A and B are shown apart, each in its own frame.
Chain A
């Protein structure tokens, strides 16, 4: 199953929502007219879902599914080709001693590392995702953002993770944000576009809902919580609101779009809480790497450890998974 059809031009807004993006005023009215989010209510619901008890077969299934949804990420100034190759090897064979371990969904790097990653992952089925558009702040000109995207795509990235202009969003210039996402989407060509909202900077749940719809309207294939460089990064309530947005988007337009929480998800226990939310908030169709990803680095090793514990019946310890 693919998330959406891909086109090289900016995608058309689905018919039921065509009025929403007619002009600046319409877009503004649409976004401000979305139902509000009650903070206490959404946090209570997210915490309630967190008490689901996932055991035995369900846990094994959840661990393997989570592994297959990981975007294994390295986004450091200190990244080297060696580091990226090590990560690529890990992505293809996460647990060398357990060949039945699923491979991860993608490796996520900066644009200048895309070529290295593409070469290392050739033929493996693991995608290469690249951050772009002046990640993580995005405080640069449209030309540079487009060029940044083009570099990534030309080097062979299958997926582009862009950041929105939070400044423009907070100023209420929604159309500027919208047009920029559309322009980047067009520059992506066949590559899938993930739109990073950086929810930690949007601050309110109402803003998260508006930014989610804005990104979906502009053609984002995925909406992603965070860059991982701002705290708080992904949280359950924020992801909950984004899952509701893609669910409602599907109800309205019939299209399936994805969600990617990123940053701060480090344990299997946390990952399973997210999967429960995907299952019960968005729905069963979203339980696939095509529509849900974890942006993470250290999470994978905990998933592998817990996978061994489930299979072997005892805990093995951190020395039995590879440190890359």
Chain B
């Protein structure tokens, strides 16, 4: 019996205003989709949350037509100052409804409420505020005196940060004068449909934003639709490659934000206790369902034992459980399918001889949960060092010299992010120049800001989201 047992402190489920059914949002209205309805599940309890109407191929066509009409008749003609007002309004409405969105996100996705409340929802609002500021300043963004929008953007987003990824996609598209057809992930459509309500509340002109829940086939219909000018996709590398093949030879512009296997590199002169925090945040934030997760820890051999000892102690204090409990650090894995994938890769780690340590924390017996796991003695040749696990599983490797750290960090087909931990400023700059990764964090990890461009190298995709650079993806330049 623990001495200091935290009593459950759950956020009320009622705040989510959960409805029995949700519908696709087309041309400013919620419509009956002609696809087979899907049931979205609470991954923490395996209970059905709601039935969600889905789109069919013909609905995609209707949505694209609505988006085209809104583009040509209203949105592309509207002065940036006016577009900005809508974006500011949406940002404020996200803030006003932040508790509702946070609870709904945690119910549908399984992420802990402290993350949806303190990270996902505020950052989503921040993206709309930031891009609202750009809407009337595009002439000063460095893309010529009068950069033009592309037209209709087809956007497909993943389940790990449902509302935040929506914001990353929709905010820059609208700020630059494009209209949008967006497909949320099959397992997490709910906050996107509440966002559709926010668009109505903000009196956004009909057709500017269309949201079509559905499975991968609807994503494919969006990608192959001939009247779409731009595809933006965040998700797996496998699907990203398929999209690129489909788009090849068309006039569609494409940005892809795909998988990652980021190295988090700890030097012997690092602030070790804060490095441990950064390692924990890097791999256990959002149950490790983060494309830029620091899933490979590269630690200098001279401090490896010390770091691992501190890390195990720290990880054992993480609290896994009900995502709605304000004291939960690690919530539920989003789906049974993802849980099976994590288990499979962990078994491969055992089989290939890595040394597994699992946090002794109690794990709920219902729902999709996976206890935080750290693999020591991992070698570059093992699957757990090469493949994206997308779960709360850390692979620890060691290095001897800075050159070896760079070589090992770059030895991956991915290249989305990296972390450097050292108190030596010159080494941070030298390393950052050597690392092939879109984002390099120094003495921190998983920090996001709408002003900072985000994107990858190689199989992590191309194009940037956020900042001035991110505008380019939605402008004809």
Q: Chain B residues near A62: list those with CB within 8 A.
A: 4
Task: Assess the B273–A42 pair: CB atoms within 8 A.
Answer: yes
Shortest beta-carbon distance from A280 to chain B in Å: 5
Question: How close is B367's CB to chain A, nearest CB, in angstroms?
Answer: 21
Q: With an 8 A cutoff between CB atoms, is A287 at the interface?
A: yes
Interface flags for A45-57 (1: CB within 8 Å of B; 0: not) read 1000001111111
0 or 1 for each of A247-286: is its CB under 8 Å from B? (1 = yes): 0000100000000000000000000000100011000100
CA A58 to CA B2, docked complex, whole Å: 11
Stretch at the interface among A5-13, A33-41, A75-83, A174-182: A33-41
Q: Which residue of B lies closest to A56 (CB)?
A: B7
Cβ-defined contact, A40 with B114, below 8 A: no
B444 contacts the other chain (CB 8 A): yes
Binary flags per residue of A19-43, CB closer than 8 Å to B gives 1, else 0: 0000000000000000111101110
Q: Cβ of A35 and Cβ of B273 under 8 Å apart?
A: yes
Q: Does B136 contact A (CB under 8 A)?
A: no
Tell me whether B423 is interfacial, beta carbon within 8 Å.
yes
Q: Is the CB of A41 within 8 A of B114?
A: no
A61 at the interface (CB under 8 A from B): yes
| A284 with B3, Cβ < 8 A, contacts A41-B277, A53-B9 known | yes
For B3, the chain A residues whose CB sits under 8 A away are 279, 284, 287
Whether B271 contacts A36 by the Cβ 8 Å rule is yes
Residue on B with the closest CB to A65?
Answer: B4
Bound complex: CA of A37 vs CA of B269, how far in Å?
11
In the complex, which residues 74-131 of chain A have their Cβ closer than 8 Å to any Cβ of chain B?
A: none
Shortest distance between the CB of B216 and any CB in chain A (Å): 37
Among residues of A, the one whose C-beta sits closest to the C-beta of B421 is A38
CB neighbours (8 Å) of B309 from chain A are 251
Tell me if A244 counts as interface (CB < 8 A to partner B).
yes
Residue of B nearest to A41 (CB): B274
In B325-356, the 8 Å CB interface with A consists of: 326-327
Given contacts A53-B327, A284-B2, contact A244 B273 (CB under 8 A): yes
Using CB atoms, name the residue of chain B closest to A247. B313
> Given A55-B9, A251-B309, does the pair A279, B4 have CB atoms closer than 8 Å?
yes
- How far is B153's CA from A84's CA once the two chains are assembled, in angstroms? 75
Most buried by A among B114, B118, B309, B327: B327
The answer to whether B7 touches A41 (Cβ under 8 A) is: no
Tell me the chain B residues, 258-275 only, with Cβ under 8 Å from chain A.
269-274
Chain B's closest residue to A49 (CB) is B317
Q: In the complex, A182 Cα to B278 Cα: how many Å?
A: 37
- Identity of the chain B residue whose Cβ is nearest the Cβ of A42 in the assembled complex: B274
Shortest B102–chain A CB gap in Å is 13
Contact across chains for A59 and B7 when beta carbons are under 8 A apart: yes
- A35 near B317 (CB under 8 angstroms)? no
Cβ-defined contact, B118 with A51, below 8 A: yes
Question: Which residue from chain B places its CB closest to the CB of A283 in the assembled complex?
Answer: B313
A43 to chain B, nearest CB (A): 10
Q: How far is the CA of A51 from the CA of B113 in the complex (A)?
A: 12
B301-320 interface with A by 8 A CB criterion: 309, 317
A55 touches B274 (CB 8 A): no
Do B274 and A58 have beta carbons less than 8 Å apart?
no
B444 touching A40, Cβ below 8 Å: yes
* Measured CA separation A56–B270 after assembly (Å): 40
Interface string of B1-28 (1 = CB under 8 A from A): 0111111110000000000000000000
- Residues of the A chain whose Cβ atoms lie less than 8 Å from the Cβ of B8: 55
User: Do A41 and B444 contact each other (CB < 8 Å), given the known contacts A35-B272, A53-B9, A53-B326?
Assistant: yes
Chain B, interface size category, equals 20 to 34
Residues of B within 8 A of A37 (CB): 271, 273-274
B300 close to A (CB within 8 Å): no
A55 to B6, CA, bound (A): 7
How far in angstroms is the closest Cβ of chain B from A82?
38
B8 shortest CB reach to chain A, Å: 8
Residue from A51, A58, A65, A251 in contact with B6 in the complex, judged by beta carbons closer than 8 Å: A58
- Shortest Cβ distance from B217 into chain A, in angstroms? 41
Q: Nearest Cβ in chain A — how far from B155, in angstroms?
A: 32
Contact B274 A275 (CB under 8 A): no
In the assembled complex, the Cα of A16 lies from the Cα of B280 at a distance in Å of 29
Whose C-beta in chain B lies nearest to the C-beta of A240?
Answer: B273
- Among B114, B274, B317, B327, residue most surrounded by chain A Cβ atoms (within 10 Å): B274
For the complex, give the distance between the alpha carbons of A42 and B272 in Å: 11
A67 to B273, CA, bound (A): 30
In angstroms, how far is the closest chain A Cβ from the Cβ of B422? 10
B210 interface residue, CB < 8 Å from A? no
In the bound complex, CA of A44 to CA of B281 (Å):
11
> In the bound complex, what is the Cα–Cα distance between A61 and B327 (angstroms)?
17
B7 cross-chain contacts in A, Cβ below 8 A: 54-59
Closest residue on chain B to residue A241 by CB atoms: B273
* Bound CA–CA A58/B114 (angstroms): 19
B98 contact set on A, CB distance < 8 A: none
- A45 & B277 in contact (Cβ 8 Å cutoff): yes
Set of chain A residues within 8 Å of B118, measured between Cβ atoms? 51
Is the Cβ of B327 less than 8 Å from the Cβ of A52?
yes
Contact A280 B317, beta carbon cutoff 8 Å = yes
Residues of B within 8 A of A280 (CB): 317
- Complex interface: chain A residues within 8 A of B271 (CB): 35-38, 41
* C-alpha gap A74/B163 in the complex (Å): 53
Residues of A within 8 A of B272 (CB): 35
Residue B443 CB within 8 A of the other chain: yes
A41-B271, A57-B7 are known; give 4 further A-B pairs, CB within 8 A. A35-B269, A53-B326, A55-B7, A58-B7
- Which residue numbers of B lie inside 8 Å of A, CB to CB? 2-9, 114, 118, 269-274, 277-278, 309, 317, 326-327, 423, 443-444
The interface of chain A, by Cβ under 8 A from chain B, is: 35-38, 40-42, 44-45, 51-59, 61-62, 65, 244, 251, 275, 279-280, 284, 287
- 5 CB contacts below 8 A, A to B, read A35-B269, A35-B271, A36-B271, A51-B114, A54-B7
Please give me the 6 A-B residue pairs with the lowest Cβ-Cβ distance, nearest first. A41-B274, A53-B9, A38-B274, A38-B271, A53-B326, A56-B7
